[in-house]
Chain A
Amino acid sequence: MTVWPEERVLTAEEASFNTVDMTINIGPQHPATHGVFRMVLTVDGEVVVDCEPYIGYLHRGLEKLTENNDYRQAMGYWDRTDYLAGMCCEGAYCMAVEKLAGISVPERAEYIRVMMMELSRINSHFMFLGAFGADVGSFGTSFVYAWRERERIYDLIEEVSGDRMFPTYFRVGGVTMDLPENFERRCHEVLGSIRQGIEDLDGLLTGNEIFVERCRNLSPLTTERAIALGVTGPILRATGLPWDVRKAEPYSVYDRLDFDIPTGRQGDIFDRYFVRLSEMYQSARIIEQCLQELPKGLVLNPGLPKTLRIDKSECYVRNEGTKGEYGVHAIARGGVKPYRMKLRSPSFCNLSALREMVVGNYLADAIIILGSLDIVLGEVDK
C-alpha cells in the first residue's frame, strides 16, 4: 500500500540520522481494545509500520465444550460467544441442530426468534456506536447515550427470557416460553426510545466535523480486498456490496419481512459507522413488522424427543450475526453429543483485515480502525 504518492529523497544529513522504530504494546488491558485483545504496534514516531494482533486471552474452548455436552446443554455456551448479542448466536446454534435433526420450528417461535435477534442486533450496534465515539475521543458522552438505550433493551429481554445478557432463551425446536402478556406495548415503547436514542447519537456524532474529519477516507477497504480477507457484515457492506445473509440466503422468516440493506460507498471508517447506524433503523422496522404479523400458536415443537439423538449427518448453517456471517459447521455421528461444532466467527475473520488497514496510518487512527471492526473478544477467542 503506497500511502504517500512520491517518495521523498533524504538528504545526507537526514539519512545519517538513524531513527529506531518503537514497539508499543496495546492491550491486553487497554481501554481501546474493548476486551482482552492485544496488538503490538511498531511505530515510527506516530506512524504505524507494523501491527501484530495477539488473540486467545478469552479462549474458553467453546467447540470442545459443545462436543462434551448434549445438544441442549451446550446451548448456554453459545450466547457467550458474541456476548453483546447472545440471541443471534443461539439462533445459529439452534438452526444447526434443527437442521441436523430435521426438527421444525413453530411459526410463532420463528417470529419471536427474529424479534429477539433483531433486538440483540440493535443492542450490539448501540454498543458499537457508544464505544466508537469514545475511541474517537468524545469522552464517554456517546457511551452513556448508548448505554441508556441498551438498558431498556436488556430490560425487555429480561422480561421475555428472565436474563439480560445470556438469556439461553432459544431451544432446539422453538423458544423456552411464550412472550409476556404486555410484550407488544412494551416493545413499542422500547422501539420508540431506541429510535430517539439513535437520533441522539446521530446528532452527536454524524454531523460533528471533527468526527467526520477523523473517519472519512481512513483505511478504505475495496470490495475485492474485503472478500479476499474474509470480511463480512457491516464492514463488507460499507464497501458497497449489499451482502447480507438475511437477504442472500433467507433463514427463519426473513423472506416474509420487508427491510433494506444499507451499504456504504467507499468502505472507509465513516461508512462502516453509518452502515451500522442505518441498520439499526432497519432492525426496528423488522421488529415492528414481526409484532404485526405475529401468529398465534405454540412456541416449542411438541413432538420433540426426551433425549435428542442425531444420526450421522453434517451441515453448515449461517445467519447474519451482528458482526457478520456467523457460521456453524455441525457434524453428528450418532449419540446425544455432537461430533463437531465448528464456529466461523465473524469477528475473528474480520480481524484478519486489521493489519492491512492499520499499517501506514497514525497511531491514533489504529485505535479507531480497531474500533470500527467492532470485534467482540468472546467471539474471536471462542
Chain B
Amino acid sequence: MNFGDPFFGYSWIDMIIRVVIVALVMTVMVIYLTYGERKVVARFQQRLGPMKTGPYGLWQGIADAVKLVSKEDIRPTNADRWVFEFAPYATFIPVFMVLASLPFAKDWGVRNLSLGMFFVFAILGLNIVGIMMAGLGSGNKFALLGGVRAAAQMISYEIPLVLSLLAIAMIAGTLNLNLIAAMQDERPFIVLQPLAFIIFFTAMLSELHRAPFDIPVAESEIVGGYFVEYSGIRWSMFQLTEYASMWAFSVFGGVVFLGGWEYPKGDDWGWGWQLALTFIKSGIFIMAIFWIRTTVPRLRIDQLMSFCWKVLLPLALVQLLANGFILIYGASEWWLFGTSSLGAVALVAIVIKRAMRRPSTKLVGAYRTLQVPAP
C-alpha cells in the first residue's frame, strides 16, 4: 500500500481521519515540545529541568496541561468580552490550517495543495489578528504594548520571509510543497540558496517571537505581553499556538530548505524513513531555536526594525533579482549556489561589521525633541 493513498477512497471520511491524526500528533508534539524545551534549556543552564513527574519528568507536560485546563478562566472586568475570549482561537486556527497543508511524507498531508506555499503565507498573516485582538481586548497596557509590538514586528518580518521563500519557488517553479520536496532528491535547496535560508530562519524566529526577537512577549519588560491577562485554558491556547506554530514553521522550513521527506533516500527507503526525516529536520530547527533562546539577549524594537528593513529586505530582493537573471539565461545551478553564498557571506559580514563598529557619539533614542521635565 502506498502511504499517500486515501484510507477509504478519496472521501470526506479520509479527510477527517487525516485532520484528526494531525491534530493528535500536534497536541502530543506541543506537550513534548514544552517538556523538551524545559529539558534542553535546563541543560544549557546547568540544571536538570523537570525530574519529579514520572521518569525524568516525562509526564510533566501532561500534568501541566491538566492543571491549565482545570484552572479558573479569569476575564478582567474592563476587557472587551468577545474580543478577549475569541482571541486565542483566532491565533490558533491559522496555525492549525498551516499544519493541514504541510506534507509530512510523500503525498501525505491533510491536503496536497497545488498552491501550498502561497496558502502558508496567506494564512500565517492571519495570526497577527488574534494577537492584536488579545492585546487590545485585554484592557491592559502591557498587553496593548505587546500587541502593537507584535503587529509591527510580524508584518515587517513577513516581507523578507516571503521573499526568501519566493527565491525557492522561482527555482522550483512550483508552489506545491510536495513537489518542492520531491525536487530535492539530489541536494536540498539550502545548498543552492544559503542566503535565503538565513533570511528565512531569522524571519521565522521573529514571526514566532522567539529570542532574540521576543519583543512582544518580553518577560522582563512587559511581562508576557499580549497574553498577560489570560489564564487557564485560554492561556494554554496561546501556549499551544506558540509551540504548534514553532513546529509548523520547522516542518515547513524543513520541506522548503532541507529537502523535507525526500532528501536523502526518501524515495528509496519508504514512508517510515520519510516521516523520520520530517521529524529529524523539524527537530534540528527546534533545537536551534532553543539554543538561540538560551544564549542571546533581546533586541530593542528599533534595532529589530532596522535590521529587517535595512539588511534583510535588500538582501532578499537582490537574491530574487540574481535568481531571476540566472534562471532566465539558463545558467547552471552552480551560479545559484555562488551568488547566494556570496550574499550569505555579505550578510554575515554586515552583522560582524555592525558588531565591530566604533561607538557613535550620538545618543540612542527618541524621535522627537525631549526636555527633561521639571520634577
- Looking at A129-137, A285-293, A321-329, the stretch in contact with chain B turns out to be A129-137
Tell me the minimal C-beta distance from B261 to chain A in angstroms. 33
Tell me the minimal C-beta distance from B20 to chain A in angstroms. 35
Residues of A within 8 A of B301 (CB): 46, 362, 364
Interface of A is mostly: mixed
Given contacts A138-B296, A208-B296, contact A50 B364 (CB under 8 A): no
Contact A361 B44 (CB under 8 A): no
Tell me the minimal C-beta distance from B50 to chain A in angstroms. 16
Asked whether any CB of chain A lies closer than 8 Å to the CB of B181, the reply is no
Asked whether any CB of chain B lies closer than 8 Å to the CB of A220, the reply is yes
Contact B211 A139 (CB under 8 A): yes
Contact A217 B360 (CB under 8 A): yes
A217 contact from B298, B299, B362, Cβ within 8 A: B362
Asked whether any CB of chain A lies closer than 8 Å to the CB of B354, the reply is yes
Cα–Cα, bound, A212→B352 (Å) = 12
Interface of B is mostly: loop
Which A residue's beta carbon lies closest to that of B302? Answer: A362
Asked whether any CB of chain A lies closer than 8 Å to the CB of B55, the reply is no
Contact A133 B221 (CB under 8 A): no
Cα–Cα, bound, A50→B372 (Å) = 8
Residues of B within 8 A of A3 (CB): 363, 365-366, 368-370
A137 contact from B44, B220, B302, B361, Cβ within 8 A: B220
Which A residue's beta carbon lies closest to that of B370? Answer: A360
Which B residue's beta carbon lies closest to that of A268? Answer: B359
- Tell me which residues from 347 to 361 in chain B have a Cβ below 8 Å from any Cβ of chain A: 351, 354-355, 359-361
Pick the most buried of A44, A214, A266: most chain B CB atoms within 10 A of its CB.
Answer: A214
Asked whether any CB of chain A lies closer than 8 Å to the CB of B215, the reply is yes
- Looking at A89-97, A140-148, A230-238, A335-343, the stretch in contact with chain B turns out to be A140-148
Contact with B along A1-29 (1 / 0, CB 8 A): 11111011000000000000011100000
Asked whether any CB of chain B lies closer than 8 Å to the CB of A31, the reply is yes
Contact A210 B299 (CB under 8 A): yes
Contact A50 B373 (CB under 8 A): yes
A355 contact from B296, B303, B375, Cβ within 8 A: B375
Asked whether any CB of chain A lies closer than 8 Å to the CB of B109, the reply is no
Cα–Cα, bound, A361→B44 (Å) = 33
Asked whether any CB of chain B lies closer than 8 Å to the CB of A365, the reply is yes
Asked whether any CB of chain A lies closer than 8 Å to the CB of B189, the reply is no
Contact A134 B220 (CB under 8 A): yes
Cα–Cα, bound, A72→B55 (Å) = 53
Cα–Cα, bound, A16→B79 (Å) = 29
Tell me the minimal C-beta distance from B213 to chain A in angstroms. 10
Which A residue's beta carbon lies closest to that of B295? Answer: A141
Contact A140 B296 (CB under 8 A): no
Contact A7 B368 (CB under 8 A): yes
Contact B366 A4 (CB under 8 A): yes
Q: How large is the interface on A (under 10, 10 to 19, 20 to 34, 35 or more residues)?
A: 35 or more
Which A residue's beta carbon lies closest to that of B369? Answer: A7
Given contacts A138-B295, A208-B297, contact A32 B370 (CB under 8 A): no
Asked whether any CB of chain A lies closer than 8 Å to the CB of B10, the reply is no
Contact B366 A209 (CB under 8 A): no
B299 contact from A135, A214, A219, A361, Cβ within 8 A: A214
Contact with B along A331-370 (1 / 0, CB 8 A): 0000000000000000000000001100111111101000
Which A residue's beta carbon lies closest to that of B144? Answer: A22
Contact A360 B365 (CB under 8 A): yes
Contact B296 A218 (CB under 8 A): no
Residues of A within 8 A of B296 (CB): 138, 208, 210-211
- Tell me which residues from 276 to 296 in chain B have a Cβ below 8 Å from any Cβ of chain A: 293-296
Given contacts A2-B369, A218-B364, contact A140 B45 (CB under 8 A): yes
Cα–Cα, bound, A216→B145 (Å) = 25
B294 contact from A7, A139, A208, A362, Cβ within 8 A: A139
Contact B220 A135 (CB under 8 A): yes
B221 contact from A23, A140, A218, A367, Cβ within 8 A: A367
Contact B142 A137 (CB under 8 A): no
Asked whether any CB of chain A lies closer than 8 Å to the CB of B47, the reply is yes
Residues of B within 8 A of A23 (CB): 141
B141 contact from A2, A24, A138, A148, Cβ within 8 A: A24
Which A residue's beta carbon lies closest to that of B299? Answer: A210
Which B residue's beta carbon lies closest to that of A211? Answer: B297
Residues of A within 8 A of B78 (CB): none
- Tell me which residues from 121 to 169 in chain A have a Cβ below 8 Å from any Cβ of chain B: 133-141, 144-145, 148
Asked whether any CB of chain A lies closer than 8 Å to the CB of B262, the reply is no
Tell me the minimal C-beta distance from A187 to chain B in angstroms. 23
A139 contact from B41, B371, B372, Cβ within 8 A: B41
Cα–Cα, bound, A277→B111 (Å) = 56
Pick the most buried of B142, B297, B302: most chain A CB atoms within 10 A of its CB.
Answer: B297
Contact A363 B46 (CB under 8 A): no
Cα–Cα, bound, A359→B215 (Å) = 20
Which A residue's beta carbon lies closest to that of B45? Answer: A144
Asked whether any CB of chain A lies closer than 8 Å to the CB of B367, the reply is yes
Residues of A within 8 A of B207 (CB): none
Cα–Cα, bound, A359→B351 (Å) = 29
Contact A4 B367 (CB under 8 A): yes
Contact with B along A164-192 (1 / 0, CB 8 A): 00000000000000000000000000000
Given contacts A24-B141, A31-B219, A141-B295, contact A365 B364 (CB under 8 A): yes
Contact with B along A215-252 (1 / 0, CB 8 A): 01111100000000000000000000000000000000
Which B residue's beta carbon lies closest to that of A265? Answer: B359
Instruction: Sort A-B residue pairs by CB-CB distance and give the 6 closest, nearest first.
Output: A137-B298, A209-B355, A3-B365, A136-B297, A144-B45, A137-B297
26 CB-based A-B contacts, threshold 8 Å: A1-B372, A3-B366, A3-B369, A4-B366, A46-B145, A133-B297, A136-B297, A136-B298, A138-B211, A138-B296, A139-B293, A141-B44, A141-B295, A208-B297, A210-B296, A212-B355, A213-B299, A213-B355, A219-B363, A220-B363, A268-B359, A362-B364, A363-B221, A363-B222, A364-B215, A367-B220
A-binding residues in B (CB < 8 A): 41, 44-47, 141-142, 145, 149, 211-212, 214-215, 218-223, 293-303, 351, 354-355, 359-373, 375
B-binding residues in A (CB < 8 A): 1-5, 7-8, 22-24, 30-32, 44, 46-47, 49-50, 133-141, 144-145, 148, 204-205, 208-214, 216-220, 266, 268, 355-356, 359-365, 367
Known: A8-B367, A213-B299. 16 other contacts (CB 8 A): A1-B372, A23-B141, A47-B365, A47-B370, A133-B297, A137-B220, A141-B44, A141-B295, A214-B303, A216-B359, A217-B361, A359-B372, A360-B365, A362-B300, A363-B145, A363-B221
